[in-house]
A and B are shown apart, each in its own frame.
Chain A
Amino acid sequence: MGLFGKLSGWLSSIFGKKHVRIGIYGPPNAGKTTLANRIAMDWAGEIVGEVSEIPHETRKVQKKDRVVIRDGKASLTLDLIDTPGIATKIDYHDFLEFGIDEEDAKQRAKEATEGVIEAIKWLDNVDGVILLMDSTKNPFTQVNITIFGNLEARELPFIIAANKIDMNGSPATLQSAFPQHEVVPISALEGINMDLFYEAILKTFGKKGR
């Protein structure tokens, strides 16, 4: 570690982190890109990527650097990493139902699989994670449980955000699924509870001693 690295490490241990790289992780169609767009629009006035209702729309990691979040005197600079959805099964037949032709559907499935690997590899390069779950769905999936367990094992700080509360979601169920962890209920699309969410970001990722 160079002198600058040592100095910045020492400063952040005293004052808390000021600049962090945060990955948004979760299953396909949880709303990861919508959330990344919401954060980037709220604080930087730009979007990160295109969204779609077809699963696996994001098949490559998308980045938005230097998004500064503020709350009173506290501020935190985020490099946002929007990752492809993590799934245990990717089947091109599922895309055919959306009117995509077979060749494109197979290509989409291949890219989505590569996207899962890329997303997981990026875990080595983030300071923290926003684990986004769909509050309208059963939280006990292999994907959710595996990511949750792995983040704990890696000792990476993370926030669980229960998205889509505008769609009859059940954040209470998600909270009962992960009782030892704070769950922030939000609607990234409608911008509901984003104040609480940004507070949680500042508290979790900007804290001292990491």
Chain B
Amino acid sequence: MPHQCLKCGKVYKDSRYVFEGCPECGGKSFYYTKKPLNEEKRKKLLEEIEKDDMLTGETLDDIFEDIRKKKEAALKEAEKLKEKVESIHVKEAGEYEINVRRLMEEGSIIIYREGTYYIYLPSLFSGKK
């Protein structure tokens, strides 16, 4: 499938540009799709990438500060999961939230769907631990 440069929108069949950067605009972010995106969607995606994944800052100190903040936020988020009893929350068919921490630490499989908890008993009686 072709890759689309998120910055200028040009579509390439050759995936080598994903690694070399877009020859038109030098963009480094590509989207892998059959249906090229319009400018608005591309802009939104680029913003999301920058917001979620990239570490920002002009100087090394700024970057380290960003790292510290992101680490704190991730640890806080992970702590919150301790309160949840379910290991998997089915929001709707095809949409799942997974409590990786509970699965890893306890191995129990408890599924929450539409107000009901389903407990997979063999996961509790597996004899491990």
Q: Are A142 and B81 in contact (CB under 8 A)?
A: yes
A145 within 8 A of B: yes
Per a CB cutoff under 8 Å, which of B18, B54, B71, B94 touches A110? B94
A173-B63 in contact (CB<8A): yes
The A57-110 residues at the B interface (CB cut-off 8 A) are 86-93, 97-99, 102, 105-107, 109-110
CB-CB contacts of A181-204 with B at 8 A, as 1s and 0s?
000000001100000000000000
User: Are B55 and A138 within 8 A (Cβ)?
Assistant: yes
Question: A113 and B52: CB pair below 8 A?
Answer: no
Residues of the B chain whose Cβ atoms lie less than 8 Å from the Cβ of A140: 67, 70-71, 73-74
Task: From A54, A110, A120, A176, give the contact of B104 (CB < 8 A).
Answer: A120
Q: Does A50 contact B (CB under 8 A)?
A: no
Q: Is the CB of B53 within 8 A of A90?
A: no
Q: Indicate if B8 sits at the interface (CB-CB under 8 A).
A: no
Decide if A155 is an interface residue (CB 8 Å cutoff).
no
Evaluate whether A117 and B103 lie within 8 angstroms (CB atoms) in the complex, with A88-B97, A176-B64 already known: yes
Residues A9-26 near B (CB distance < 8 A): none
Q: Which residues of A contact B109 (CB under 8 A)?
A: 117
Using Cβ atoms and an 8 Å threshold, which residues of chain B touch A189?
Answer: 19
The verdict on A146 contacting chain B, using a C-beta distance below 8 Å, is yes
- Chain B residue nearest to A112 (CB atoms) is B96
Q: Given known contacts A87-B98, A98-B34, is B78 in contact with A146 (CB within 8 Å)?
A: yes
Instruction: Report how far A136 CA is from B18 CA in the complex, Å.
Output: 13
Chain B residues lying within 8 Å of A109, measured Cβ to Cβ, are: 94-96
Q: A143-B100, A145-B78 are in contact. List 7 more A-B contacts (CB 8 A).
A: A90-B96, A105-B94, A110-B93, A140-B67, A140-B71, A146-B104, A166-B19
Binding site for B on A (CB under 8 A): 53-54, 86-93, 97-99, 102, 105-107, 109-110, 113, 116-117, 120-121, 123-124, 136-138, 140-147, 150, 153, 166-168, 170, 173, 176-177, 189-190
B interface residues, Cβ below 8 angstroms from A: 1, 18-19, 28, 32-35, 52-55, 63-64, 67, 70-71, 73-75, 77-78, 81, 88, 93-101, 103-105, 107, 109, 128
What are the 4 A-B residue pairs with the smallest beta carbon separation, nearest first? A92-B94, A106-B94, A99-B34, A53-B32
